C-alpha cells in the first residue's frame, strides 16, 4: 500500500475523523417503515487535500446489507467542505457546507440520478463529534414528492 504519508495540511481540520467508526442508526421517512441499522464508516487519506470516505450499513435485526456510499470529502478553503459521493441506488451527490470545530454541515448543490433512481432532489447532512468520542449525524432528504424531511440519525464510536 506504499509508505504512510502525513495528512495534507488543507484537511487538518478533518483530521479528527480519520479512522474507522461503528455504531447504530435509526431510519425513517413518511413513505417507508422505520428501521434500525448498524453502520461502519472509514475515513482514510493519501496525503492529498481530501479524505477518502467509505460507508456501509446493515439491517440491525436481520443483518442484511442496506445502503452504502463512498466518495471524497474535500476542503477547498479553510472552514468549507465539499462532498463528492456515489450511492448504489443510482444517485450521485455533490454537497457543500461548513466546518466549525467538530461540527460539519453540508447541503446538496446537485443530486444526479440514473434513469431508474428514485426521485431525490436534495440532501442535508449534519455531523458532530461529541465529547471527542461520539460521532453523531443526521440526514434529511427531499425525495419521492416529500419536502426536506428527516431520514437518518446515527451515533458511532471510534474503532481504530
Residue given cell 466518495 in the structure block: 71
38 touching ligand HEM, by CB under 6 A: no
How far is 13 from 108, CA to CA, in rounded Å? Answer: 21
How far is 24 from 64, CA to CA, in rounded Å? Answer: 14
Selected from 57, 71, 73, 83, the binder of ligand HEM by CB under 6 A is 57
Cβ 121 vs Cβ 137: under 8 Å: no
Selected from 51, 75, 143, 156, the binder of ligand HEM by CB under 6 A is 143
Q: Which is nearer to ligand HEM, 13 or 42 (CB)?
A: 42
95 touching ligand HEM, by CB under 6 A: no
93 touching ligand HEM, by CB under 6 A: yes
C-alpha closest to that of 31 among 119, 135, 157: 119
Q: Angle at the Cα of 23 (from 81 to 72), degrees rounded to 5?
A: 25
Q: Which residues bind ligand HEM (CB under 6 A)?
A: 25, 27, 29, 31-32, 35, 37, 39, 57, 66-67, 87, 91, 93, 118, 120, 123, 139, 141, 143-144, 151-152
Amino acid at each position: 500500500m506504499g509508505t504512510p504519508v502525513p495528512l495534507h495540511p488543507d484537511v487538518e481540520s478533518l483530521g479528527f475523523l480519520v479512522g474507522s467508526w461503528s455504531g447504530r442508526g435509526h431510519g425513517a421517512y413518511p413513505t417507508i417503515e422505520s428501521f434500525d441499522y448498524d453502520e461502519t464508516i472509514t475515513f482514510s487519506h493519501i496525503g492529498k487535500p481530501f479524505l477518502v470516505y467509505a460507508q456501509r450499513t446493515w439491517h440491525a435485526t436481520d443483518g442484511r446489507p442496506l445502503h452504502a456510499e463512498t466518495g471524497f470529502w474535500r476542503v477547498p478553503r479553510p472552514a468549507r467542505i465539499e462532498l463528492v459521493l456515489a450511492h448504489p441506488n443510482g444517485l450521485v451527490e455533490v454537497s457543500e457546507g461548513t466546518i466549525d470545530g467538530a461540527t460539519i454541515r453540508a447541503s446538496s448543490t446537485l443530486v444526479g440520478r440514473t434513469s431508474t433512481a428514485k426521485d431525490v432532489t436534495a440532501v442535508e447532512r449534519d455531523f458532530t463529534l461529541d465529547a471527542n468520542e461520539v460521532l453523531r449525524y443526521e440526514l434529511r432528504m427531499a425525495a419521492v414528492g416529500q419536502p426536506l424531511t428527516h431520514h437518518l440519525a446515527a451515533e458511532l464510536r471510534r474503532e481504530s
